[in-house]
Structure 1
Amino acid sequence: MAKIEKAIIKILKEELEFTNKGTNYSQWVLGVNINKISAKDKVTGNPIYIARVVVKTSDSPYVDGMDIVFMAPEEDIIIEAKYYEKTPEFQGGTVEDSIEWLMKMNGIYYLQLDNPFEKAD
């Protein structure tokens, strides 16, 4: 996996994953697909990437997913401002269907099917 893809996945995990051990509730990034959509943005001249991301929670068998835009100016990776205000493009689907949705954009870079957080006793 390339440096940019690793950085995008790290940002997505920092932004979207959390756990509450008191309630045994967790949310994690189930899968990510990354596609470079433009070698250079017409305004800034920076590369543009779309990360198709699926999020899973511990309290539901269903998942949600959305496309989030990233820009790569110089050595930084910048996530789309206010991405969290967008309505998910993939809502309330099964894990199996979300994997198919991820595959529509040239493969999967990251897949975490099981809850990565420990349950409290």
Structure 2
Amino acid sequence: MTDQPRKTLRLNMESPQDRDVQTMAILVRSIEARHCASWMYNHLKILAAPQILYRRNDNLYCDAVVIQHDGKAPREEKLGTFRLAGMTAVKSIARLALFWPHRDLANSRYGSILFVRDDE
């Protein structure tokens, strides 16, 4: 026998739709409270200020101002688009989120807007 740990198989009983609903609920709370949120996306830890939740082509998306990528500030401040299906470990952070005033809600990419931050 070897001293290596035994490999185990873990089943994820959560459907992708359930995960999207949970992620959306956390992001809506963050937007309402004007707080930041953190998540893993493409193996990067993201800290961002969510601004808009919307549905396009039967997929859910969040546009957010990225504050940190893996603990480093981005080169430029801009609004990024994140597909909810790609987000994991989503948490609301009690840190005041930036408001992004340079957005065009009439843009066709925002198919069906579900929730939007409004600081006006």
Q: How would you bin the TM-score normalised by the shorter chain?
A: 0.3 to 0.5
Q: Higher strand proportion, which one?
A: 2
Compare CA radii of gyration and give the structure with the larger one: 2
TM-score (norm 1): 0.35
